[in-house]
Amino acid sequence: MSVTEIPSGQHAGQVVSVTGLGPVRLLRALATSPETALYQTDQAGVVVKVFDLSCGKPDEVGYGPYMNFRAELATFEELQAAEPLRLYVPTYYGASLDYDRKFAFIAMEFLHGRNLRAWGEDLAAGGYDAAALDELRRAMQEVLAIVDLFHRHGLVLMDFKPDNVIRLEDGTVRLVDLGAFFTPRHRREPGEFLYAATPDHAEVVIDVSNLQAGVPPGAASDIFSAGVALFEMATGASRLVIDPATAEEMLATPAMYRFRDSQIMDVWKAFPHLKEALPLVQTQLRERHLLFSELWHLLKAYVGARVPDWEGLDPDQQGQILLATGTTFIQEQLPTALNWLAGPIAQATVLRSLRVKSMGELAQLLGNPAPAHVLADVAAHNCLLQHLERLGLPTDFAGRLNVWDVRLDRGSGHWAIAGPAACWELAENAAFVYLRQVYTDDQGHTYWHAVDEFEADETAAGRANLTQLRHDHHAWLGVAPASQRSF
């Protein structure tokens, strides 16, 4: 986990009891917030998140931190029952509440890796070479695929941001800070959901309005947050800079923002703590920094006042003009090497009527398609595809492979498909695709051939299936079997 080291911490030295682990001593705070702290412990691979429940009254605990603890704990427990999902969050070890010492805690796995914000900084420091950019695209596609998997199981992250995505040393991804998740248990009473998203990364006005009306959030909320996260990873900022002259021009026309400001003030009444984090549009213009949630409403009013016969255009034409204008505005603020991100960011954050409808669609926009001759070779010679056709499983994904999803097997002269890519595409069916390892090349890449269940049982290493390659970015599929090869 990428964290900022904080000396000691007010709970350092305390001992908590965790079922299955026994006494666990808190050594020092690795990261802190006003209500929580993450502690290194005396047990390797275990960290403890402490919720400070003190409120100044001897017989009471702080309501906000207590509810946040309950929400995060309930999400951890819910994910334990969802086999495909718990692989993408820290391992849960236990939790408890100590009324006497006025704190609650959750013990979980320590994640060795970097969050996406830090990874973006590393990328910039390295100069954005081509290989690093392809790795960025691949990793972000994997992140979005994971979020899409959560959506298909009825969960919405609600606070998706770079700090909450950890990329481990082996390249796999985990999601942290589960307290903001909207899960199936909340659908019975959406209005009772403890909304904890941050205004820089969420459409607070829309989310709050929907929840108050009993409308549960959907994928659109996370798609928006993902767009902001892409921008933040590329620039280090979550707000857009606006030209002073343009800002003054907008300020001189209050009709462009007055209604939106009234909606923001309504949010303040319901959530007073958001007053500082969610400034009025007028304030944002004066400060020359715009939240993404306000950009498109403001831009639509601005463009509409300047395009001749705007009201006479049909909605599709208006949408195209708005999206093109916003894409250019975003692109101007990105590093040159990341200009290609402007389109995906715009299509993720634009007004919901124009927005991409799924994380899968957004992930496709981040792709770097493999050359046509490579795709043709895969279609003609890849043994995995031939095997899937015999099983009656889909093979259309082979036409969407990216450059990082294929590798030339110099032994056969044909292209192989990345194990993780095939696993994601086949989803639950991956468990029924059995494999035999063919060989390992001099760079440590392993090549596999799809076989029937009986042949898989006869291999010296034992039966293997595609799900086992889910996180192995050195595993490749579809090489024609060759008896002369050895393991």
Q: Do 216 and 289 belong together in one domain?
A: yes
Judge whether residue 106 has pLDDT over 60: yes
The stretch 407-431 carries a mean pLDDT of 90
Domain containing residue 405: 372-477
Q: Report yes or no on 350 lying in a domain.
A: yes
Pick the range with the lowest mean pLDDT from 122-136, 139-153, 258-272.
Answer: 122-136
Quick one: what percent of the chain has pLDDT higher than 90?
67
Helix (H) or strand (E) holding 287: helix 281-287
Q: Report yes or no on 483 lying in a domain.
A: no
Report the C-alpha gap between 47 and 60 in whole angstroms: 27
Looking at residue 126, its pLDDT comes to 84
The stretch 179-196 carries a mean pLDDT of 86
Q: Do 184 and 268 belong together in one domain?
A: yes
Looking at residue 470, its pLDDT comes to 86
Q: Do 97 and 188 belong together in one domain?
A: no
CA angle 40-45-48, nearest 5°?
A: 40
Q: Report yes or no on 332 lying in a domain.
A: yes
Among 79, 109, 139, the domain-final residue is: 109
Q: Do 379 and 471 belong together in one domain?
A: yes
Looking at residue 323, its pLDDT comes to 97
Q: Do 343 and 299 belong together in one domain?
A: yes
Q: Do 101 and 130 belong together in one domain?
A: no
Highest-scoring range by mean pLDDT, 331-335, 410-414, 456-460: 331-335
Q: Do 410 and 356 belong together in one domain?
A: no
pLDDT tens digits along 442-474: 999 999 999 988 887 777 666 789 998 988 889
What's 87's domain CATH number? 3.30.200.20
Give 408's strand partners: 415
Among 314, 348, 365, the domain-final residue is: 365
Q: Do 246 and 344 belong together in one domain?
A: yes
Count: domains in the chain: 3
Alpha helix ranges (H) inside 427-482:
453-458
Q: Which two tokens stand for residue 104?
A: 């609650």
Q: Do 158 and 171 belong together in one domain?
A: yes
What's 135's domain CATH number? 1.10.510.10
Looking at residue 75, its pLDDT comes to 92
Q: Report yes or no on 156 lying in a domain.
A: yes
Q: Report yes or no on 261 lying in a domain.
A: yes
Report the C-alpha gap between 450 and 187 in whole angstroms: 41
Looking at residue 314, its pLDDT comes to 94
Eight-state DSSP code of residue 393: -
Looking at residue 485, its pLDDT comes to 42
Query: How many angstroms separate the Cα of 107 from the Cα of each of 18, 70, 177, 407, 411?
Result: 7, 14, 13, 40, 48
Quick one: what percent of the chain has pLDDT higher than 70?
96
Judge whether residue 74 has pLDDT over 50: yes
394-400 contacts, C-beta under 8 A, 24 or more apart = 394/425, 394/426, 397/421, 397/422, 397/425, 399/375, 400/364, 400/367, 400/369
Q: Do 297 and 176 belong together in one domain?
A: yes
Burial per residue of 352-378, b for 16 or more beta-carbon CB atoms within 10 angstroms, e otherwise:
eebbbebbbbbbbbbbeebeeebbebb
Q: Do 259 and 162 belong together in one domain?
A: yes
Q: Report yes or no on 276 lying in a domain.
A: yes
Among 109, 128, 145, the domain-final residue is: 109
The stretch 370-375 carries a mean pLDDT of 97
Q: Report yes or no on 3 lying in a domain.
A: no
Q: Do 144 and 250 belong together in one domain?
A: yes
Q: Report yes or no on 71 lying in a domain.
A: yes
